Chains A and B, each alone.
Chain A
């Protein structure tokens, strides 16, 4: 167990809808990363927050947004969902903003129908 908790584990929703994925980092970690893993694109970095502030952006669509709250948990919001957004979404955490090793949660499997 990595210590990173993601909810829900599975999510099925219709196209056009909006969903929120939640992540609680390991105790003491200030950085939270969001990744998307799909069959055709592999594992891709979406966005990083460090101590409540956005630190880096990767291949994140404009329909997606994230935030990190004062208690350090993070939420990834996905809106106007399309079939192609179906994927595994992972949250990872690390202590600092530039750490090499990040600890991954078990992921949220999103299915858009």
Chain B
């Protein structure tokens, strides 16, 4: 069983929908939780970063971490076609980029 599990999708939603992306993990040492966005033929870019449990909001994006359930989520409000990408969750115990464990990614398409 992988340390980080992520539904690969694909997920297709109409423009304006609320999108929910999720990951579960098994390593209780994970303290730092990230979401990366990867457009086709591009490298991943850091979208959101959360330490420990709680919520973090940045514009249309909200990241939630529930350490008791070992479950993290990314919500995208008012989704746009430009949000179409693969979303990767990543986490680590130390916060260092070298020790990130990535999920397999969820492919999202927002239809105009």
Contact = CB atoms under 8 A, between A and B. Distances in A.
Tier of interface size on chain B: 20 to 34
Contacts of B42: 106-107
Interface residues of A, number: 26
Given A100-B32, A100-B97, A106 B41 contact: yes
Given A100-B49, A101-B49, A43 B44 contact: yes
B85 interface: no
A45 B99 contact: yes
B43 interface: yes
Contact of B105 (A31, A42, A97, A106): A42
Contact of A42 (B32, B99, B102): B102
Nearest to A58: B98
B43 A92 contact: yes
Interface of A: 2, 4, 31, 33, 42-45, 48, 55-56, 58, 90, 92, 94, 97-107
5 contacts: A31-B97, A42-B105, A56-B98, A100-B32, A106-B41
What are the 4 tightest A-B residue pairs by CB atom distance, in nearest-first order? A104-B43, A102-B97, A43-B102, A48-B98
